[in-house]
Copies of this chain bind each other. A is one copy, B any other.
Amino acid sequence: MLKRVFGLPLQLTSKRTLSTIFYQRMSEQATTNPATPAADVPVQQHKQKPGKGKKSKLQVSLKTPKGTKDWSETDMVIREAIFTTLSNLFKRHGGQTIDTPVFELREILAGKYGEDSKLIYNLEDQGGELTSLRYDLTVPFARFVAMNNIQNIKRYHIAKVYRRDQPAMTKGRMREFYQCDFDVAGAYESMVPDSEILDIIVEGLTSLGIHDFKIKLNHRKILDGIFQVSGVSDEDVRKISSAVDKLDKSPWEAVKKEIVVDKGQTEETADKIGEYVKLNGSLREVYGVLSKDPTICANEKASEGLSEMENLMKYTEAFGIDNFISFDLSLARGLDYYTGLIYEAVTSASAAPENAAELKKKSKSSEDASEYVGVGSIAAGGRYDNLVNMFAQASGKKSGSQIPCVGISFGVERIFSLIKQRMTSADIKPIYTQVFVMAFGGGKDWTGYLPERMKVAKQLWDAGIETEYVYKSKANPRKQFEAAEKSGAPLAVILGKEEYAEGKLRIKRLGPEFADDDGELVDANEFVAIVQDKLSQVHEDGVNEVSRLIRGL
């Protein structure tokens, strides 16, 4: 099978232009056939900027909803290559894939997202159940595990999620966006699956050509312990946590104010928290500091967390990924359901511009925040040991054993925006055409060989070869060469008026370097095998531009 041999997507490096010399020679025997331009080029899009005329009242807005966009052409090729890279990564780690509905019963999503619950899209009540679009893939996964009484699974899921947030389109922050999730559910030894998840982040990002990232990591038990020893009461822990979570965007002074003024803690408590959350460094460094802190060690929760971090160090060193990790006590993560390790991968593009506040004031767009925000984290996740159980209990199932979970979500649009930045070549084509079938002839009795071209194309399709021809009874050679050039096909199969009548087809390489080449006249009964052979040769030398781009080569 051709597809197997070459892999997908196929891309060639050489620029192809009209094979003028060959064309001239062939057209000497052909009559010119005037054609409408649009009708002659089946493949290439001709785009113009949409008109910007004023709208009348009855007009329809020809746009996608706020925070969403269409994907097409090269962008689709790149995004699909990212999906393939990540699926292969997940399969390498024993993952199986599932697919859940885009909307869930509203009660399934309720109470899982803290302050962000207001960003959930609801479906209209049209009679029947109340439903909402999924906000992430984690809660539907936990619902799936609980619903099917699954005891353990490694699952991956690549799908769209929905958040009614302020979009920043060019930074890849959208209202409809893809998440690529890998999660391990099941009761295992401390930090064993967790460390594999961290390895998956490193493998995933490096295989996408991203090397200048770090994984900021913290442990909810340690963080909660810090809050406790600083004087925060148990019922206030989650809200203080969500205040601390803002430290990546706001300075400590603003967060402190929120803790004291809005969240009612004492100045002293806030200052103690401030001392701890500014700690960050390598796992060994921060672990070293905390494990010598008697207050922390005396706190039950923090001490549990610390002993888990000891295991984690051992495993991340075995994987050789400890150099990517920054133990950062200011990382809190907004979502309610995390119970253990939490982490976010960030790059230099993740942060907002230094003068973000100023840019925000200046910004003319109330619709899009791209001017004053960063890309944000490009992968994020954590451990959530109670979510499955919460569903099982809420649904009245006999409380079985707890199903602890840990996982990671890659933000594809954000990663896409980084990959797109390093794209220099424009030679990635969205179509894969390998052969363009043409017919040349002339004279009064010249039919244009359309049904004959169809027969030839059909034989190539049946052999699995990507094939096109011009959708026209009689097309002149120039139009056919132009269409072939635009398709990017490396090979032409030509039906010459007399040659084809004698059972012969001409196979010719396309591209300027083959302009002088008349191609090869072959028996029409054997041409498919010869085409396959020639395509193998073409792709032996070819370079896959998409892989090159994705891997950052």
Which residues from chain A sit less than 8 Å from chain B, CB to CB?
3-4, 7-8, 36, 38-39, 41-51, 53-56, 58-66, 68-73, 76, 79-80, 88, 91-105, 107-108, 121-126, 128-129, 131, 133, 143-144, 146-155, 160, 162, 164, 176, 184, 186-189, 192-193, 195-196, 199, 203, 314-315, 317-320, 391-392, 394-398, 401, 430-433, 450-452, 454-455, 458, 461-462, 464-468, 471-473, 487
- Given A53-B397, A70-B99, verify A458-B320 contact (CB < 8 Å): yes
CB-defined A-B contacts under 8 Å, sample of 14: A38-B401, A41-B152, A42-B188, A44-B152, A45-B153, A55-B395, A56-B396, A61-B107, A63-B105, A63-B147, A97-B430, A123-B133, A189-B472, A318-B454
Residues of B close to A47: CB separation below 8 A? 148-150
Q: Give the complex CA separation of A467 and B89 in angstroms.
A: 11
Residues of B close to A154: CB separation below 8 A? 42-43, 431
The reply to whether B452 and A318 contact each other, CB–CB distance below 8 Å, is yes
Partner of A80, one of B60, B97, B454: B97
Residues of B close to A160: CB separation below 8 A? 102
- Given A45-B151, A65-B131, verify A466-B104 contact (CB < 8 Å): no
Closest 8 CB pairs of A and B: A318-B451, A68-B101, A96-B430, A62-B395, A122-B124, A188-B471, A60-B394, A318-B454
Q: Give the complex CA separation of A186 and B46 in angstroms.
A: 11
Residues of B close to A199: CB separation below 8 A? 458, 461
Residue on B nearest A475 in the bound complex, by CB: B189
A70-B98, A320-B458 given; name 4 further pairs at CB < 8 Å.
Answer: A76-B98, A93-B461, A96-B430, A154-B431
Residues of B close to A192: CB separation below 8 A? 450, 471-472
- Given A92-B465, A152-B41, verify A70-B121 contact (CB < 8 Å): no
Smallest distance from the beta carbon of A293 to chain B beta carbons, Å? 27
Residues of B close to A63: CB separation below 8 A? 105, 147
Q: Give the complex CA separation of A128 and B66 in angstroms.
A: 9
Residues of B close to A131: CB separation below 8 A? 65
Q: Give the complex CA separation of A41 and B317 in angstroms.
A: 24
The reply to whether A62 and B98 contact each other, CB–CB distance below 8 Å, is no
The reply to whether A53 and B4 contact each other, CB–CB distance below 8 Å, is no
Residues of B close to A98: CB separation below 8 A? 70-72, 76
Q: Give the complex CA separation of A188 and B35 in angstroms.
A: 11
Smallest distance from the beta carbon of A121 to chain B beta carbons, Å? 6
Residues of B close to A99: CB separation below 8 A? 70-72, 76, 79
Smallest distance from the beta carbon of A99 to chain B beta carbons, Å? 4
Residues of B close to A466: CB separation below 8 A? 91-94
Smallest distance from the beta carbon of A446 to chain B beta carbons, Å? 16
Q: Give the complex CA separation of A129 and B167 in angstroms.
A: 14
Residues of B close to A395: CB separation below 8 A? 55, 59-62
Residue among A45, A133, A162, A472 with max Cβ neighbours from chain B (10 Å): A45
Residues of B close to A487: CB separation below 8 A? 94
The reply to whether A51 and B431 contact each other, CB–CB distance below 8 Å, is no
Partner of A149, one of B50, B58, B60: B50
- Given A64-B104, A98-B70, A101-B176, verify A431-B91 contact (CB < 8 Å): yes
Q: Give the complex CA separation of A9 and B163 in angstroms.
A: 33
Residues of B close to A391: CB separation below 8 A? 60, 62
Partner of A148, one of B39, B50, B319: B50
Residues of B close to A121: CB separation below 8 A? 123-124, 126
- Given A152-B45, A188-B39, verify A455-B318 contact (CB < 8 Å): yes
Q: Give the complex CA separation of A152 and B487 in angstroms.
A: 13
Q: Give the complex CA separation of A193 and B143 in angstroms.
A: 46
Partner of A187, one of B38, B176, B187: B38
Partner of A100, one of B64, B153, B203, B392: B64
Residues of B close to A104: CB separation below 8 A? 64-65
The reply to whether A124 and B124 contact each other, CB–CB distance below 8 Å, is yes
Residues of B close to A317: CB separation below 8 A? 451
Residues of B close to A107: CB separation below 8 A? 60-61
Residue among A94, A465, A466 with max Cβ neighbours from chain B (10 Å): A94
The reply to whether A102 and B102 contact each other, CB–CB distance below 8 Å, is yes
Partner of A62, one of B50, B176, B397: B397
Smallest distance from the beta carbon of A41 to chain B beta carbons, Å? 7
Q: Give the complex CA separation of A128 and B175 in angstroms.
A: 13
Residues of B close to A397: CB separation below 8 A? 50-51, 53, 62
